Amino acid sequence: MPSKGVFLYHLDKTTCGGRIIAGAPDETYEIGGIVRQQVRAGDPVTCGVHEGRFRVCGGMGDTYDVNGVLKEWAGSLDSFSSCPCRARFVPTVFSHTYDSNCNAGRMAERENTIRKKKLAEEKEKDLEPMPVPVLIYATQHRMDDYDAKDMHHGDLNEETLKGRFDLTDVSAKVNPYKLTLAPSATASPYSGFYPGSLKENESMVVSREESARIMFDEFRELAKLFSFQGEYKDIITEMIDHMQDNSGTPYSNPMLDKALKEQILNDHTEQSSLLVIRDILTSAINYEYGFIPLDKKNKLFDERGNFKDLSMAVLPKFDRLIDQTNGLVITVHDTWSTHITLESLEVTGESYRAKVRYRIQDHFGLDEADILNSVFHQGRIFRIWFVLQRWQEYDYKPFITEMNTTVEISGGRG
């Protein structure tokens, strides 16, 4: 048997604590002594978490004429809020019901008729939709940039490392230049040189391969001081292992994709890239025809092909206080290249749903400016990293870290 749904009325609440605030003014019912308006797709609703007004999205199929425009009645099985919570509705009137499949055939037929009518009108008015998917933002730094300064490797000699970069005290375990083991020394990430810290035991000489292994073990151990809590803490160890494998191939991890998605969705500041995109779409969509007109493209995009308003947005990066101990500050922190693509756009009445894809790359490597920075230079972990990567005798390849995620947004006019 088909599922039973109930019609929605204004004052019904959302699962996130919001409320439907209006419905059809001429379709009212007195319920419990209160006159309630029956709700349609597109009617306003509040959110219990986020400020502002949102819209009821989706309807059950039966329509209501509003100035010649057909709107669907909202139902408990089919409707949801356009707020970021994507909340469902909590009905309070259970006497007016409908079957879930009662209008399936008519809905498909009506949507097909409306689609054909709109296409005909578009051709007559020479109104074309902007093609989707479309790249809406790309940083100046390009993707797959193996020529970036932090991607250099095996390009420096011992004299340069010691002279220009003052890299004489590198590892607390082994002298990478003389290949001799050092006495026990503190493994603090910011331990500096002190008298006797690298007095080699001349009888303990190791191979170049063994010295690299010792330094990578020390690299992993020191990294734990930046990555000791949370679900992402083991990623840095995996990335150091990938560097030690020396393939130089790109690295990806579903957990990094998850961290990226969380960062995007949890950024509620005015500079949030996702919220800026939502505002752009809300104002750019032609709700009558259900798309962004192609003739708006010049107003939306700058000379570099980016959404103009996105130039003021803050791109995703991991610089929160918690990221200093969960590993993200050292695995990714800032990013090198970002592409944002509008993957899909679906307009229903005065509301829309869109999918936005973020593709982000960072480089797991150090450039000269990094190690010349006094804060980085004091950290033994970075001195080890730089020597393993840049000294011609080791030549361990840095690599590209790639993160991908797709997020949904919704909004509407009003």
User: What value, to the nearest 5°, has the Cα angle with vertex 23 and ends 17 and 27?
Assistant: 140
Distance CA 289, CA 63 (A): 18
Based on the domain organization, do 22 and 159 belong to the same domain?
no
Do 329 and 304 touch, CB atoms closer than 8 A? Answer: no
The backbone torsions φ and ψ at residue 371, rounded to the nearest 5 degrees and listed phi first, read -75, -20
Domain end residue (candidates: 99, 125, 151): 125
Based on the domain organization, do 144 and 261 belong to the same domain?
yes
- Per the structure, the complete domain to which residue 365 belongs is given by 127-414
Q: Percent of the chain beyond pLDDT 90?
A: 62
Domain end residue (candidates: 125, 140, 158): 125
Based on the domain organization, do 48 and 137 belong to the same domain?
no
Based on the domain organization, do 295 and 397 belong to the same domain?
yes
Q: What is the DSSP letter of 151?
A: G
Distance CA 39, CA 101 (A): 19
Based on the domain organization, do 110 and 167 belong to the same domain?
no
Instruction: Say yes or no to pLDDT of 251 above 50.
Output: yes
Average pLDDT, stretch 263-267? 93
Checking DSSP bridges between strand 89-90 and strand 13-14, what pairing results, if any? antiparallel
Q: Percent of the chain beyond pLDDT 70?
A: 86
Average pLDDT, stretch 27-37? 86
Based on the domain organization, do 209 and 256 belong to the same domain?
yes
Based on the domain organization, do 101 and 197 belong to the same domain?
no
* pLDDT digits 0-9 by tens, 170-226: 999 999 999 999 876 444 455 444 444 445 445 589 999 999 999 999 999 999 988
Domain end residue (candidates: 125, 155, 179): 125
Chain centroid to Cα 364, Å, comes to 19
Q: pLDDT confidence of 67, banded at 50, 70, 90?
A: low
Nearest to 67, CA basis, from 98, 111, 112, 24: 24
Q: pLDDT confidence of 292, banded at 50, 70, 90?
A: very high
Based on the domain organization, do 257 and 384 belong to the same domain?
yes
Based on the domain organization, do 352 and 365 belong to the same domain?
yes
* pLDDT digits 0-9 by tens, 345-397: 999 888 999 999 999 999 999 999 999 999 999 999 999 999 999 999 999 99
Structural domains in the chain (count): 2
Based on the domain organization, do 234 and 245 belong to the same domain?
yes
pTM over 0.85: no
User: Please, which contacts does 365-369 make with residues 24 or more away whose CB atoms are closer than 8 Å?
Assistant: 365/150, 365/151, 365/152, 365/153, 365/389, 365/398, 365/399, 366/150, 366/390, 366/398, 367/148, 367/149, 367/150, 367/152, 368/149, 368/165, 369/149
Do 402 and 250 touch, CB atoms closer than 8 A? Answer: yes
* pLDDT digits 0-9 by tens, 92-149: 988 888 886 655 445 555 555 665 666 566 555 667 899 999 999 999 999 999 999 9
Based on the domain organization, do 160 and 36 belong to the same domain?
no
Based on the domain organization, do 95 and 154 belong to the same domain?
no
